[in-house]
Structure 1
Amino acid sequence: MYIVFEGTVGTGKSTQSKLLVEHLKSQYPDREVIRVREPGKTPIAEAIRTLVQGTEFPEEMDPICEAYLYSAARAQLINTITKPALEREAIVVSDRCFWSSLSYQGYTKGTGIETIWQVNKPIVESCLPDLVLFFDMPVEIGLSRTFDGVGDKHELNGKEFFEQAHEGYLKCVEDGRFAKKAVSINALGTIEEVSTRILTQVNPLLS
C-alpha cells in the first residue's frame, strides 16, 4: 500500500503523514510501515534535495533542469526503497511524490504537466500511488505557516506562485493517470479533525 500526502507549502502534510505512520504502526503491528519524503530519504536523493532546494546559484535554474534533478532523486528513492518495500507488502507513506513536479515545474513554471509527466513516467508508471491525499487549503493560510527553518528557497515564492501550484494540483486530482485513487482533503481545522478526514479515506483501503 502506497499512500502519498501532497499539497502546497504550510498545509500540514508532514505533520499528518507522521501521525498516520504512528497510527498504522499501532493498528497493524505485524505490518512494516515506513515513511519517506521526496526528494530525499536516501543519501543520493538527500544530496539532490540540498542542491535544488538549499543552494543559491548566480543563475536561475531552468524548470526542465529542475525537473530532471527531482526525477533523478525520485528514481533513486523508488528503486532502492519504495518498490522493494511494496514488494515486501509494506505500507509506504510518502510526503510528496511526482505530483509536486507536475504542479510546480509543469503547471506553475509553464513547462506543461504533460511534458513533466513524460519525464517521470518511466520512473513512476510501475509504482503509482494507491492513494494521493491532496491537502486543500487557502494559499495565504499555508504561507503564513511556512517558514520552518529547513532552508527551502522555493518557499520564498509569493502568493501568486503558490496559487498557480494549487491549480496544478487540482488538475492532477482530476486526471486519472497519476494515481489509483486521488482525493482532496480539507486541510483546515484542528490536527485531530484533519487526521479523522484522512483515516476516513485510508481505513477502507486497508480493511
Structure 2
Amino acid sequence: MTAAAKFIVVEGLEGAGKSSAIALIKQYLQQSGRQVVCTREPGGTPLAESLRTLVKQVQTSEVVAPQTELLLMYAARMQLLCNVIKPALAQGKWVLADRHDMSSRAYQGGGRQLDEAFIDQLRTAVLGDLRPDLTLYLDIDPAIGLERARQRGELDRIEQEQLAFFQRTRQKYLQIAATEPNIVVIDAGQTLEQVQQSITAALHKALG
C-alpha cells in the first residue's frame, strides 16, 4: 500500500442515506485528484455478488441460521478483499466502501446477538491487520430509516426484520463508534444539506 492510499467506509442502517453520502465522498476525493475504487458489501465481485443474493433473498423453504448468515458475509468479504480492496490499495488507489466489517459486528453481533468471540475469530482470520482509515457511520432512528427503505420498494430478507433487531443493531454501531477513534458518527436525521456539510467537515478533518 502506498502512503497516499486510504480505505474509507460508509456505514449505517437501512434508509440512512449511504448512497448519497458515497456519491458526495467520491466527488470530494476525485476533485482532489485521487483515484477512487468503489465497492459494496456483501458483493463487489461476481462471486461475492452471488453470495449477496443468497444473503438477501427471502427464503421460503428453510430458515437461514444466524451463523450461516455471518459466514456468508465473511466469505464475500474475503473475496472482495483479495480481488479488489487489497490490489487497489497496493496500486495507490483510494477505496470507498458501502459497508465493511463494522456491519457484521453490528448486524450479526448486535442484531442477531451472535457470540462476539466467534465474530472476532472470523475478523482476525479474514482481515488480519487491515482496518479502514476512516469510517463514517450515518446514525438514524431505525423507525425513520425503515420507513425510508419501504418507500424505495420491496424489502429484502434482512430489511424485513422486526424493529427491535434494528434497535439492537444501532446500539452496537454506537457502542463500536464510541471506542474506535477512526469512526465518525454523522447525524443522518438532519436535512440532506446538513448531512453533506457534516460529511465534508469530517473529511476535511480526517484527510486534510
> TM-score scaled to structure 1, two decimals?
0.91
Paired residues for 1:60-99 under 5 Å = 60-99=63-102
Instruction: Indicate if the aligned counterparts of 1:83 and 1:127 stay in contact, CA closer than 8 A.
Output: no
Among candidates 150, 156, 178, match of residue 152 of structure 1: 156
Offset from partner CA, 1:160-179 (integer Å, 9 cap, x none): 11101101111221333xxx
1:82 to partner: Cα distance: 0.6
Distance 1:114 1:154 in 2: 23
1:99 to partner: Cα distance: 1.0
Offset from partner CA, 1:54-83 (integer Å, 9 cap, x none): 242422111111111100000011111111
C-alpha distance 125-173 of structure 1, shift in aligned 2 (>3 A): farther
Point out the more displaced range, 63-72 or 103-112: 103-112
Among candidates 56, 59, 68, match of residue 56 of structure 1: 59
State the secondary structure of the residue aligned to 1:145.
Answer: helix
1:149 to partner: Cα distance: 3.6
Paired residues for 1:1-207 under 5 Å = 1-25=6-30, 27-29=31-33, 31-147=34-150, 148-149=152-153, 152-176=156-180, 181-207=182-208
Distance 2:101 2:49 in 1: 16
Amino acid at match of 1:19: L
Offset from partner CA, 1:25-69 (integer Å, 9 cap, x none): 1x223x211211101111010000001112424221111111111
1:87 to partner: Cα distance: 1.4
Instruction: Indicate if the aligned counterparts of 1:107 and 1:113 stay in contact, CA closer than 8 A.
Output: no
Amino acid at match of 1:36: T
Amino acid at match of 1:196: Q
C-alpha distance 46-80 of structure 1, shift in aligned 2 (>3 A): same
Question: What stretches of structure 2 of length at least 5 have no aligned partner?
Answer: 1-5
Distance 2:158 2:128 in 1: 27
State the secondary structure of the residue aligned to 1:118.
Answer: helix
> TM-score scaled to structure 2, two decimals?
0.90
Runs of 4+ in 1 over 6 A off after TM superposition: none
Distance 2:21 2:80 in 1: 21
Distance 1:112 1:173 in 2: 19
Identical pairs, percent: 36
Question: What stretches of structure 1 of length at least 5 have no aligned partner?
Answer: none
